[in-house]
C-alpha cells in the first residue's frame, strides 16, 4: 500500500511525444507505459496470479458488467473485495461495462438516466446508472474505476456522435458527484467517434472535472488503423500532461507501440490471451500461427529474443503438438508467452524513453 492519493501520477521522462511515468494506487505503483492484461471475470484466462507476478505484471483489468452479473456484488464484498476474491494483491482497474452494454445492442435500452439491459446469461433485467456503476466498483475495492459512458458504433452520423458525447459528459458529471474520493481513483472516458470537434468537446467536459485520469474510448470499434492512430494522437494532446492517459482496447505489438508514440500511458486488450488460446504466438516482428504444419518439426523457441520461461523450456514443435492434440497446456503456455512479450516490450519502452532514445526503439519495432 502507498500513502499517495489514489491516482497520483508523476511524469518522469519524455522522448518525443512518448512518456515515462509512475502511477500511485492503493495496491501499489504502476510503471508506465504499461499494458494491462484483461481478467474480465476476475481471472486472466489460463493464468494464475502467480504467473502474472512472475511475468512482472503490476496491474490487470476486470469488467463491471460481467462481475455485476456473476458472481455479483454481495459475494465479492463478502470475500473481502475483488483482490482477495481472486488472489491478486496488485492494482486492478475495472471497466464500467459501457462497451459490453454497447455490444448488446438488441438487449438494452438507453435513456438520459442510464441503461436497462438483459443479461446474456439468463435474460434477467438490470439497470446501470452513472452512480450505481461507480458505487459497485468502489464496493469491490478496485484501484481504478471507470465512469459509465456511451460508446457508439462506427460509422455514425454527426448527430449521433454529438448525442453520445453530450450523454457521456452528463453521466461523467453525475459519476464525479457520486464518487466517494476514497481508495478508488475515478477515470473519465472520452468519446467522439472519428469527429475531432466532438472529441475536443468531450475532452473539455471531462478535464473540467479534474479527475485522477482519463481514458480515450470509442476507438478500435470499426475505424481503420490509420484513423485509430490519428485520433489517438489527437485525443491524447487534449488531455492534461500531469494525468495518466489510457487507450482502451489496444493490444498488438504494433498498436501498443504506436499508442505510446501518441503520448498514451496505459493500454488493455484481450488479444494476447485470446490469441494464445487459438495457437497464435506474438513476437515483436509479427505473430506466428503454431497450428501450421511448418512448425511440427521446428525445435527452436517461439522467439529467440524472448526471455520468458516458455521460450526457455519449450519448442515451437512441442507447442504445435499440444494444439494439434487439443491439450490445454498449449493455451496456457502461449497465453503466458504473449503477456510476457507485451510486458517486456513496455519495460524496454520505458528504458528507451528514459534514455531519450524512443524514436530509434520505435523504428526498430516498425510499428508507426
- In this structure, what C-alpha cell is assigned to residue 255? 498498436
Distance CA(133)–CA(59), nearest Å, equals: 21
Give me the pLDDT at residue 100, please: 82
Total residue length of the chain: 368
Distance CA(339)–CA(255), nearest Å, equals: 15
Distance CA(85)–CA(102), nearest Å, equals: 28
Nearest to 317 by CA among 327, 333, 302: 302
40: buried, middle or exposed (CB in 10 Å: 19+, 13-18, 0-12)? middle
Catalytic residue among 51, 95, 149, 343: 95
CATH for 8-269, among 3.20.20.105, 3.30.70.260, 3.40.710.10, 1.20.1260.10?
3.20.20.105
The yes-or-no answer on residue 268 being catalytic is: yes
Tell me the per-residue pLDDT of 248-290, one tens digit each, with 9 for 90 and over: 999 999 999 999 999 999 999 999 999 999 999 999 999 999 9
Question: Who's near 52: CB < 8 A, 6+ residues apart?
Answer: 37, 44, 60, 88, 339
Catalytic residue among 51, 268, 303, 343: 268
Nearest to 82 by CA among 177, 183, 233, 212: 183
The yes-or-no answer on residue 95 being catalytic is: yes
- In this structure, what C-alpha cell is assigned to residue 287? 505473430
Q: What residue segments make up the domains of the chain, in order of their start? A: 8-269, 278-360
Please check the confidence at residue 321 and state whether its pLDDT lies above 90: yes
Mean pLDDT computed over 177-201: 97
Tell me the per-residue pLDDT of 125-162, one tens digit each, with 9 for 90 and over: 999 999 999 999 999 999 999 999 998 888 899 999 99
Tell me the per-residue pLDDT of 27-52, one tens digit each, with 9 for 90 and over: 999 999 999 999 999 999 999 999 99
Mean pLDDT computed over 170-186: 97
SS3 label, residue 32: strand
pLDDT tier for residue 1 given thresholds of 50, 70 and 90? very low
Strands 115-118 and 125-128: antiparallel
Amino acid at each position: 500500500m502507498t500513502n499517495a492519493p489514489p491516482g497520483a501520477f508523476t511524469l518522469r521522462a519524455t522522448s518525443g511525444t512518448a512518456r515515462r511515468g509512475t502511477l500511485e494506487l492503493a495496491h501499489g505503483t504502476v510503471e508506465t507505459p504499461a499494458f494491462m492484461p484483461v481478467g474480465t471475470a476476475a481471472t486472466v484466462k489460463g493464468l494464475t496470479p502467480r504467473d502474472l507476478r512472475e511475468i512482472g505484471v503490476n496491474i490487470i483489468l476486470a469488467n463491471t458488467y460481467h462481475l455485476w452479473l456473476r458472481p455479483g456484488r454481495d459475494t465479492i464484498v463478502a470475500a473481502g473485495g475483488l483482490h482477495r476474491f481472486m488472489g491478486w494483491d496488485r492494482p486492478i482497474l475495472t471497466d464500467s461495462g459501457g462497451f459490453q452494454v454497447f455490444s448488446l445492442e438488441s438487449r438494452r435500452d438507453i435513456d438520459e438516466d442510464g441503461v436497462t439491459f438483459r443479461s446474456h446469461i439468463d435474460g434477467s433485467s438490470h439497470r446501470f446508472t452513472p452512480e450505481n456503476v461507480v458505487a459497485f466498483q468502489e464496493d469491490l475495492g478496485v484501484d481504478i474505476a471507470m465512469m459509465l459512458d456511451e460508446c457508439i458504433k462506427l460509422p455514425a452520423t454527426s448527430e449521433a456522435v454529438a448525442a453520445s458525447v453530450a450523454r457521456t459528459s452528463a453521466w461523467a458529471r453525475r459519476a464525479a458527484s457520486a464518487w466517494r474520493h476514497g481508495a478508488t481513483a475515478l477515470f473519465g472516458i472520452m468519446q467522439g467517434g472519428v469527429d475531432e470537434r466532438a472529441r475536443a468537446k468531450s475532452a473539455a467536459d471531462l478535464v473540467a472535472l479534474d479527475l485522477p485520469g482519463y481514458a480515450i474510448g470509442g476507438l478500435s470499434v470499426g475505424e481503420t488503423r490509420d484513423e485509430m492512430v490519428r485520433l489517438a494522437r489527437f485525443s491524447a494532446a487534449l488531455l492534461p500532461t500531469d494525468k495518466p492517459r489510457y487507450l482502451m482496447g489496444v493490444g498488438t505489438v504494433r498498436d501498443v507501440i504506436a499508442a505510446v508514440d501518441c503520448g498514451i500511458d496505459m493500454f488493455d486488450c484481450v488479444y494476447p490471451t485470446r490469441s494464445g488460446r487459438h495457437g497464435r504466438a506474438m513476437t515483436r516482428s509479427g505473430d506466428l500461427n503454431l497450428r501450421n504444419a511448418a512448425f511440427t518439426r521446428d525445435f527452436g523457441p517461439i522467439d529467440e529474443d524472448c526471455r520468458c520461461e516458455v521460450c526457455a523450456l519449450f519448442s515451437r514443435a512441442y507447442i504445435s503438438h499440444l494444439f494439434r492434440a487439443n491439450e490445454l497446456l498449449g493455451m496456457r503456455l502461449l497465453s503466458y508467452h504473449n503477456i510476457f512479450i507485451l510486458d517486456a516490450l513496455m519495460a524496454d519502452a520505458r528504458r528507451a524513453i528514459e534514455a531519450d532514445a524512443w524514436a530509434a526503439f520505435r523504428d526498430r519495432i516498425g510499428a508507426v
